[in-house]
Structure 1
């Protein structure tokens, strides 16, 4: 099981390059960066309790652009995997987004992991023209367009919410492979969609099942019922607690990657201290 970290980079916290280089030196395998473009002041959508709600943390309002941040990190690190955790794909043009991912993966020599999600803030999505009731099929079809552009010399896709006429696009991801895709979130709907079309389910541990000993067997059953070999669909853990006992439970269940939560900070020094504290778990696991 690989161990990474996830961090909300903002204009008040640590420099992403300093943070990423420190994470790599501590022995973390990957760095995942979340995404929110903006937050409408209306706050019609309550912050999910599963993510720490109902109060909305200020770091959501100040988040750096995801792909720009990962590009900066890629240029100043050696082996650190670069994850979107997650890209709110419904809010983007899939052709342009496919180009961004492919370019970053090509230039970083295959270090990108494409995590996508459905989002939770209705008004944020609506500001981008997203039909909230159809966000599931929107994300699926946009990802299918991206995968076609990554893997086909003459790429095309016909979907309900997004399509692509036969098209040429290079560069392809590094060494001609596709980019591994995670579908992030929690709950039965995300689980079902991940079982149907993602490379892996990027699960946020629910409060009632932090060890995922109920959730993972249920996911594998759903994948089998969907006609997929459960062993061919991975499980990764988003915002995992830095608790060695819980992480060992994940490892025993075949989790491919646990991405540890590092508390966002109001100052660079505090953010770096928070990373250092979380890094202590690596020695305990080893």
Structure 2
């Protein structure tokens, strides 16, 4: 199991004075990866559709994900750096390709490109991007990213974007491109993972639900002539750590460190499986965050039946 943590970004951690030092300290703990998330606004009226219920109030303060990832890249030397997830549809794909290429170069080829559609209509309204047709917009976004990264030259004529024959350099260090991981929790999203992506940005969840979705991705990969066993899985845990043991029905997101880690161990069946532990919802200071991260590192290092 590969262990990752969130880059400090939200609520009390939306302070650039914390970012570099905390990322360096997390790398020193021995983790495998660091990840940013993407939030543009927090509506004053409760938005619909937040996974798990009411959106946490601390998401109202947030740092830009790609700029925060650039700081993390400069403050670290070894860890992989990813986005879980970047709402890729709020900007033209050619602009996104430039930013992601720059991050791959700054990091020395350590970037994982994690992309999702988002879930909040208000953010789409604010960016002037239609809520309808998001799947098709993502497909064309992937077409442009791959075309730019494949050769450094591109001609693209699509339903949404036209790019004249052009040179777009430099190219990313990772070839043919930085690994693309896709989020989503519907059969349509998992079909796209199997058909187009290097892996799935998933979440800690009840095991039967996970297995049914993962089967969709594997079948889609097989139909597309791809190796299903090569698909990566990154399990995001938005941890709510409790002092006493929580009900077993909640331990996919709430409980003691041991309970949460035991659930992650049931989900991670391959050595290449990755976990992303986000501690920004359950800690309030850099010291508390780093102490708890060390507890997760120690517990997840212990093999249990």
- What TM-score, normalized to structure 2? 0.82
Please state whether the residue corresponding to 2:132 is helix, strand or coil.
helix
**Higher RCO, 1 or 2 (CA under 8 Å, sep at least 6)?**
1
Structure 2 residue aligned with 1:118:
117
Structure 1 residue aligned with 2:74:
75
Please state whether the residue corresponding to 2:188 is helix, strand or coil.
helix
For residue 266 of structure 1, the aligned residue among 284, 291, 297 is 284
Count of aligned residue pairs for this structure pair: 281
User: Displacement of 1:46 after TM fit?
Assistant: 3.8
Change (3 A) 1:263 1:226: same
Change (3 A) 1:254 1:132: farther
Structure 1 residue aligned with 2:157:
158
User: Displacement of 1:150 after TM fit?
Assistant: 1.8
CA distance in structure 2 between the aligned counterparts of 1:161 and 1:233, rounded to whole angstroms: 29
Superposed, 1:182-197 pairs within 5 Å as 182-197=181-196
CA deviation string 1:136-188 (max 9, x = no partner):
11122112212222221322333333343322111211155411000013222
User: Displacement of 1:11 after TM fit?
Assistant: 5.7
For residue 24 of structure 2, the aligned residue among 21, 28, 33 is 21
For structure 2, list consecutive stretches of 5 or more residues without a partner in the other structure: 239-251
Superposed, 1:65-104 pairs within 5 Å as 65-104=64-103
Contact 2:70-2:106 within 8 A present in 1 as well: no
Superposed, 1:265-284 pairs within 5 Å as 265-284=283-302
Change (3 A) 1:170 1:231: same
- What TM-score, normalized to structure 1? 0.87
Structure 1 residue aligned with 2:5:
5
Please state whether the residue corresponding to 2:165 is helix, strand or coil.
strand
Tell me how large the CA RMSD over aligned residues is.
Answer: 2.6
Contact 1:236-1:255 within 8 A present in 2 as well: no
CA distance in structure 1 between the aligned counterparts of 2:164 and 2:44, rounded to whole angstroms: 38
CA distance in structure 2 between the aligned counterparts of 1:207 and 1:249, rounded to whole angstroms: 10
Please state whether the residue corresponding to 2:109 is helix, strand or coil.
coil
CA distance in structure 1 between the aligned counterparts of 2:278 and 2:292, rounded to whole angstroms: 10
